[in-house]
Structure 1
Amino acid sequence: MEFQAKNLPTDKLRTVYICINTAIYVIQVCIWIYLLVDYSSIGDLLGKIFIAVVSFVAALGFAIYGGRLFFLLRRFPIESKGRRKKLHEVGYVTAICFACFLIRCFVVGLSAFDRDASLEVLDHPILDLVYYMLTEILPSALVLYILRKLPPKRVSAQHHPIQ
Structure 2
Amino acid sequence: MTIALSEFIGKIFIAVVSFIAALGFLLYGGRLFFMLRRFPIESKGRRKKLHEVGSVTAICFTCFLIRCFVVVLSAFDSDASLDVLDHPILNFLYYTLVEILPSALVLYILRKLPPKRISAQYHPIR
* TM-score, length of structure 2 as denominator length: 0.95
Distance in 2 (alpha carbons) for counterparts of 1:161 and 1:76: 36
C-alpha deviation, 1:159, in angstroms: 2.1
Q: Which amino acid aligns with 1:125?
A: P
C-alpha deviation, 1:161, in angstroms: 5.1
Q: Aligned pair in 2 of structure 1 residues 126, 57: CA closer, same or farther (>3 Å)? A: same
| Percent identical | 80
- Is 2:45 the partner of 1:82? yes
Distance in 1 (alpha carbons) for counterparts of 2:92 and 2:54: 27
- Is 2:81 the partner of 1:118? yes
Question: What count of residue pairs does the alignment treat as equivalent?
Answer: 125
Distance in 2 (alpha carbons) for counterparts of 1:42 and 1:140: 32
Q: Tell me which of the two structures has the higher relative contact order, counting C-alpha pairs closer than 8 angstroms and 6 or more residues apart.
A: 2
Q: CA RMSD in A?
A: 1.4
Aligned-partner SS, 1:80: coil
- Is 2:109 the partner of 1:146? yes
Q: Which residue pairs with 1:44 in the alignment?
A: 7
Q: Which residue pairs with 2:16 in the alignment?
A: 53
For structure 1, list consecutive stretches of 5 or more residues without a partner in the other structure: 1-37
For structure 2, list consecutive stretches of 5 or more residues without a partner in the other structure: none
Q: Which residue pairs with 2:69 in the alignment?
A: 106
Q: Which residue pairs with 2:122 in the alignment?
A: 159
Q: Aligned pair in 2 of structure 1 residues 161, 73: CA closer, same or farther (>3 Å)? A: farther
Distance in 1 (alpha carbons) for counterparts of 2:111 and 2:51: 13
* TM-score, length of structure 1 as denominator length: 0.74
Q: Aligned pair in 2 of structure 1 residues 161, 81: CA closer, same or farther (>3 Å)? A: farther
